[in-house]
C-alpha cells in the first residue's frame, strides 16, 4: 500500500522546524533552569578553585588564560550537553520525537542550536567573572575572541549533542559520555586554548596559530557534516 | 688535524664509549619493548582460542545430554 | 586450509623480520644519532601497520552502517584491536628512542599528543563495545564512534608538517634525508610488519566469528 502522498514541503520548512525544536528546548530549559544553573555554578566554582590553586602575575595569567577558560567551558558545557537527550528519556519523549515527521538531521540541528545558545550564554557570563577574579583585561580583541569562542563552542556542541544521543540508552552513561567526548574534542580544545590565550594577550593571530584556526574550522565542518549524516542511524538504530 | 687528535683525552674516549654503550642499550630496550607488546597480544589471542575451545566442548556436552 | 595459509604467512613474516634484524645490525651507525637511530626500522613500520589497521576499521565500520552485515562489524573490532596493539608498541618504541636522543620520555608536541589521543580514542572504542550489551546497538554505536575517531589519524600524520614539533621532521617524504642504501631493508620491515598485522587481524576475526557462532548455538541450546 503506497503511503499517503504529501504535498512537497514549502521551502524554508526545514529552517522553521529547526527553529521550533530549538525554541522548544530553550523554553523547557529556561523554565526549570536546571542545567544552566548547574553549569554556571560549576564554572564559577572551577574559576574560584583555580584562583586558589595558582597565584600567577598578570603576564602569566594571560598566557594560561586560554587553557584555564577552556577547561572551565568544556566541563561546564558538558553538563548542558549531557542533558540534551537525557531530558527526553522520561515519559518516552524521545520516542515521540523520533516518531515525529521531521528528518533526523532537523531534530539534531534544532537541539544543537539550542545547546549552542545555552553554552555560549554560560561562557559569556564566565568571561567577565574571569576578568574580575584574575585581574585580566580580556576584551581588547573582543570581536576575534567571540569568533573563536563561537567556532570552538559549535564544535563542542555538535560532538556533545550527537554523543548525548548515542549514549542515552547505554549502560554507565554518566561515565561513557565524558570518556568518549573529551578525546574527540581535544584537537578543537587545544586550538581554542591557543587562540584564546593569544587573543587575551593582545597579540594578533598569525603563523602557527593560523594553522590552529584552520584546524578549528575544518573540525567544525567535518564533524557537523558527519553528525548530520549519522544522526538518523544513532536515533533509530 | 693532528693537533685536534692530540687533544683527545682519555675522558673523551671514555665518554664516547659510554655513549655508544647507552645507544645500543636503548636500542635493545626499544626492540624488546616492541616485541614484548606484540607477544603479549599474541598470547592473549592464544588464551582466547583455548577459552573458545573449552566453550565448544561444554556446548557439545550440553547438546549430547539433551 | 585457510588457517594453515594464515599461520604460514605469519611465520614467514616473523622470519623476514628476524633475518632483517640481523641485516640491520650489520649496517653502519647513523651519523647524527648513533646506533639508536635503527629503532626507526621498527618504530615507523609499527605506526604504518597501525595506520593500515585503523583505516581498515574505518572502512569496515562504514560498510557495516551501509549494509548492516555483521561480518563488517567483526572486521572492525578485529582490526581496531590489532591497531591498538601496534599503537601501543609504536608509542613505547618512540618513547624509548626519545629518552636516548632528547633525554625525555615524553613531550606534548603536536605529533606525540595526537598520537596518544589516537591511542585513547581507539581504546575508548574497545571500552564502548563492552558497555553496550545488545549486539545490533553495540555494532551501530561502535561503528559511528570509529568513524568519528578517525579524524585524528590525518592530524597525527600531517602534524610534523603543519607545526614545528619536537618529533623529527619527515625523513621519508617531503625532502626527507633517509640514507638511500637503507631503503631496501626498511621496505622489507614495512612489508613484514603489515603482513604480521594482517595475520593477527585474520586470526582475531576468526576468533570473533567462532565466538558469535558459539553464542548463537548457546542461545539455541538454552531455548529447548
Residue C76 lies in a domain: yes
Does residue B58 form part of some domain? yes
Residue C2 pLDDT exceeds 70? yes
The pLDDT value recorded for residue A74 is 94
CB within 8 Å of A103: residues ≥ 6 apart: A14, A232
The total of other beta-carbon atoms located within 10 Å of residue C191's CB is 16
- Chain A residues within 8 A of C136 when measuring between CB atoms: 237
Nearest to A62 by CA among A174, A141, A170: A141
Q: With contact defined as beta carbons under 8 Å apart, do C45 and C195 qualify?
A: no
Across A103-107, C141-145, C170-174, least confident range: C170-174
Question: For the residues A126-139, what does the mean pLDDT come to?
Answer: 87
For residue C200, which residues of chain B lie inside 8 Å, CB to CB? Answer: 41-42, 45
Taking a C-beta distance cutoff of 8 angstroms, is the pair C199, C9 a contact? yes
Integer Cα distance of B13 and B11 in angstroms: 5
Whether residue B26 is contained in a domain is answered as no
The residues pairing with C30 across neighbouring beta strands, listed in sequence order, are: C34
Range C3-12 contact pairs with CB under 8 angstroms and sequence separation of 24 or more: C3/C206, C6/C199, C6/C202, C6/C203, C6/C206, C7/C199, C9/C195, C9/C198, C9/C199, C10/C195, C10/C196, C10/C199, C10/C200, C10/C203, C12/C195
Taking the CA of residue A208 and the nearest CA in chain C, the distance in Å comes to 7
In whole angstroms, what is the distance from residue B37 CA to residue B56 CA? 29
User: Which grid coordinates are listed for C52?
Assistant: 593500515
> A237 to chain C nearest CA, in Å?
7
Binned at pLDDT 50, 70 and 90, residue C3 comes out as: confident
Q: Closest residue of B to C211, CA-based?
A: B52
Q: What is the pLDDT of residue A1?
A: 45
d(CA B37, CA B43): 10
Residue B64 in domain: yes
Which residues in chain B have their CB less than 8 angstroms from residue C92's CB?
Answer: 30, 33-34, 37
C 141-200 near A (Cβ less than 8 A): 141, 144-145, 147-149, 151-152, 155, 162-164
Within a domain: B18: no
Helical (H) or strand (E) element with C208: helix C183-223
A237 or A86, greater pLDDT: A86
- Mean pLDDT for chain B overall: 82
- Burial tier of B10 (Cβ tally within 10 Å: 0-12, 13-18, 19+): exposed
Q: Which of B6-15, C148-157, C174-183, C194-203 has the lowest mean pLDDT?
A: C174-183
The reply to whether B29 falls in a domain is no
Q: Tell me what the mean pLDDT of segment A1-25 comes to.
A: 75
pLDDT at C182 exceeding the cut of 70 = yes
User: Would you place residue C29 in the very low, low, confident or very high pLDDT band (cuts 50, 70, 90)?
Assistant: low
* Partner-chain residue, chosen from A183, A219, A233, that has the shortest CB–CB distance to C121: A183
Has residue C33 been placed in a domain?
A: no
Query: Domain containing C186: what range?
Result: 2-24+38-169+178-223
Distance, CA of C217 to CA of A189 (rounded, Å) = 47
Residue B2 lies in a domain: no
Residues of C in Cβ contact (< 8 Å) with A215: 155
Chain A CB within 8 Å of residue C21 CB: no
Assembly ipTM:
0.83
Give the per-residue pLDDT at A195. 92
- Mean pLDDT of chain C, nearest integer: 86
Domain assignment present for residue C148? The answer is yes
Among A75-84, A203-212, B2-11, B36-45, whose mean pLDDT is lowest? Answer: B2-11
Distances (CA, A) of C183 to A44, A132, B23, C41, C197: 57, 60, 22, 10, 21
Q: For C6-27, what is the mean pLDDT?
A: 76
Torsion angles phi and psi, residue C204, rounded to 5:
-60, -40
For residue A41, which phi and psi values (nearest 5 degrees)? -60, -45
List the one residue out of A234, A209, A219 whose CA is nearest residue A107: A234
Inter-chain touch C214–B56, beta carbons under 8 Å: yes
Query: C131 versus B4: which is more confidently predicted?
Result: C131
Asked whether the beta carbons of residue C140 and residue A211 sit closer than 8 angstroms, the reply is no
**Beta-carbon separation of B27 and C218 below 8 A:** no
Please judge whether C35 and B20 are an interchain contact, meaning their C-beta atoms are less than 8 angstroms apart.
Answer: yes
Whose CA is closest to A119, among A141, A149, A88?
A: A149
Cell 526545514 belongs to A14
Of the candidates A187, A190, A234, the beta carbon closest to that of C144 is on A234
Taking an 8 Å cut-off on Cβ atoms, the answer to whether C42 and B20 are in contact is no
C121 DSSP assignment: H
- All three cell numbers of B64: 549430547
Locate the chain C residue with the closest alpha carbon to B39: C85
Domain range enclosing B63: 35-66
User: How many whole angstroms separate alpha carbon A188 and alpha carbon A170?
Assistant: 26
User: pLDDT-based confidence at A125, cuts 50/70/90?
Assistant: very high
Element (H, E) at B38: helix B10-65
pLDDT band at residue C120 using 50, 70 and 90 as cut-offs: very high
Q: Which positions ≥6 away from A229 have C-beta within 8 Å?
A: A105
Backbone angles phi, psi at C197, to 5 degrees: -60, -45
pLDDT in tens, C30-81: 656 677 777 888 899 999 999 999 999 999 999 999 999 999 999 999 999 9
Q: Determine, yes or no, domain membership for C129.
A: yes
Question: What is the distance in angstroms between the CA of the first residue and the CA of the last residue of chain C?
Answer: 34
- Quick: pLDDT tens for C146-178: 999 998 898 888 888 887 788 887 777 766 677
pLDDT at C28 over 70: no
Residues A87 and A36: beta-carbon distance below 8 Å = no
* Residue among A191, A163, A195, A168 at smallest CA distance from A77: A163
Task: Using a threshold of 3 CB pairs under 8 A, tell whether chains A and C touch.
Answer: yes
Q: How far apart are CA C176 and CA C40, in angstroms?
A: 14
Q: Are A108 and A231 in contact (CB under 8 A)?
A: yes
DSSP state at residue C168? P
Find, among B33, B21, B45, B42, the residue nearest to C42 by Cα: B33
For C123, other C-beta atoms within 10 Å of its C-beta total: 16
Cβ <8 Å between A171 and C120? no
Chain C contacts of A187, Cβ < 8 Å?
114, 117, 151-152, 155
Looking at the structure of chain B, the number of domains it has is 1
* A vs C: CB pairs below 8 A: 62
Residues A88-102: tens digit of each pLDDT: 888 888 888 888 888
Q: Which residues from chain C sit within 8 angstroms of residue B52, using beta carbons? A: 207, 210-211, 214
Chains in contact with B via at least 3 Cβ–Cβ pairs below 8 Å: C
Write the DSSP assignment of chain A as a string of letters: -PPPP-PPPPTTHHHHHHHHHHHHHHHHHHHH-HHHHHHHHHHHHHHHHHHHH----HHHHHHHHHHHHHHHHHHHHHHHHHHHHHTTTGGGHHHHHHHSSS-HHHHHHHHHHHHHHHHHHHHHHHHHHHHHHHT----TTHHHHHHHHHHHHHHHHHHHHHHHHHHTTSTTHHHHHHHHHHHHHHHHHHHHHHHHHHHHTTPPP-THHHHHHHHHHHHHHHHHHHHHHHHHHHHH-
* Domain-embedded: residue B61: yes
Amino acid at each position: 500500500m503506497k503511503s499517503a502522498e504529501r504535498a512537497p514541503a514549502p521551502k524554508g520548512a526545514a529552517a522553521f522546524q529547526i527553529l521550533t525544536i530549538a525554541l522548544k528546548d530553550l523554553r523547557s530549559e529556561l523554565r526549570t533552569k536546571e542545567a544552566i544553573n548547574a553549569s554556571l555554578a560549576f564554572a564559577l566554582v572551577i574559576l574560584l578553585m583555580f584562583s586558589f590553586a595558582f597565584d600567577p602575575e598578570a603576564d602569566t595569567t594571560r598566557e594560561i588564560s586560554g587553557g584555564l577558560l577552556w577547561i572551565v567551558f568544556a566541563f561546564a558545557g558538558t553538563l548542558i550537553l549531557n542533558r540534551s537527550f537525557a531530558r527526553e528519556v522520561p515519559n518516552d519523549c524521545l520516542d515521540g520525537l523520533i516518531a515525529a515527521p521531521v528528518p533526523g538531521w532537523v531534530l539534531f540541528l534544532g537541539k544543537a542550536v539550542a545547546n549552542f545558545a545555552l553554552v555560549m550564554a554560560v561562557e559569556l557570563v564566565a568571561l567577565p567573572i574571569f576578568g574580575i577574579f584574575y585581574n585580566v583585561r580580556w576584551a581588547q580583541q573582543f570581536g576575534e575572541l567571540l569568533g573563536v569562542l563561537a567556532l570552538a563552542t559549535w564544535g563542542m556542541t555538535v560532538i556533545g549533542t550527537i554523543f548525548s544521543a548515542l549514549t542515552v540508552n547505554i549502560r554507565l552513561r554518566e561515565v561513557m559520555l565524558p570518556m568518549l567526548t573529551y578525546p574527540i574534542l581535544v584537537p578543537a580544545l587545544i586550538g581554542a586554548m591557543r587562540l584564546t590565550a593569544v587573543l587575551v594577550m593582545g597579540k594578533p593571530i598569525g603563523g602557527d596559530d593560523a594553522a590552529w584556526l584552520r584546524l578549528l574550522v575544518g573540525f567544525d565542518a567535518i564533524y557537523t557534516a558527519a553528525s548530520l549524516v549519522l544522526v538518523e542511524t544513532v536515533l533509530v538504530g | 688535524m693532528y693537533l685536534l687528535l692530540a687533544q683527545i683525552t682519555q675522558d673523551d674516549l671514555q665518554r664516547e664509549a659510554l655513549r655508544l654503550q647507552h645507544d645500543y642499550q636503548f636500542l635493545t630496550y626499544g626492540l624488546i619493548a616492541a616485541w614484548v607488546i606484540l607477544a603479549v597480544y599474541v598470547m592473549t589471542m592464544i588464551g582466547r582460542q583455548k577459552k573458545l575451545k573449552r566453550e565448544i566442548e561444554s556446548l557439545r556436552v550440553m547438546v549430547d545430554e539433551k | 586450509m585457510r588457517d594453515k595459509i594464515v599461520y604460514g604467512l605469519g611465520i614467514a613474516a616473523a622470519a623476514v623480520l628476524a633475518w632483517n634484524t640481523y641485516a640491520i645490525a650489520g649496517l653502519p651507525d647513523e651519523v647524527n644519532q648513533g646506533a639508536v637511530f635503527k629503532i626507526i626500522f621498527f618504530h615507523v613500520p609499527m605506526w604504518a601497520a597501525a595506520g593500515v589497521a585503523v583505516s581498515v576499521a574505518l572502512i569496515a565500520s562504514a560498510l557495516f552502517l551501509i549494509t548492516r552485515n555483521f561480518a563488517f562489524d567483526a572486521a572492525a573490532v578485529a582490526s581496531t584491536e590489532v591497531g591498538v596493539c601496534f599503537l601501543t608498541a609504536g608509542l613505547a618504541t618512540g618513547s624509548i628512542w626519545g629518552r636516548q636522543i632528547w633525554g625525555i620520555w615524553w613531550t606534548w608536541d603536536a605529533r606525540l599528543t595526537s598520537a596518544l589521543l589516537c591511542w585513547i580514542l581507539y581504546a575508548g572504542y574497545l571500552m564502548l563495545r563492552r558497555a553496550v550489551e545488545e549486539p545490533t546497538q553495540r555494532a551501530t554505536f561502535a561503528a559511528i564512534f570509529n568513524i568519528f575517531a578517525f579524524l585524528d589519524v590525518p592530524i597525527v600524520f600531517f602534524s610534523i608538517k603543519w607545526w614545528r614539533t619536537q618529533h623529527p621532521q619527515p625523513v621519508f617524504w617531503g625532502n626527507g634525508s633517509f640514507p638511500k642504501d637503507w631503503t631496501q631493508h626498511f621496505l622489507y620491515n614495512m612489508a613484514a610488519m603489515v603482513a604480521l598485522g594482517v595475520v593477527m587481524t585474520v586470526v582475531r576475526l576468526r576468533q570473533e566469528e567462532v565466538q558469535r557462532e558459539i553464542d548463537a548455538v548457546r542461545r539455541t541450546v538454552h531455548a529447548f
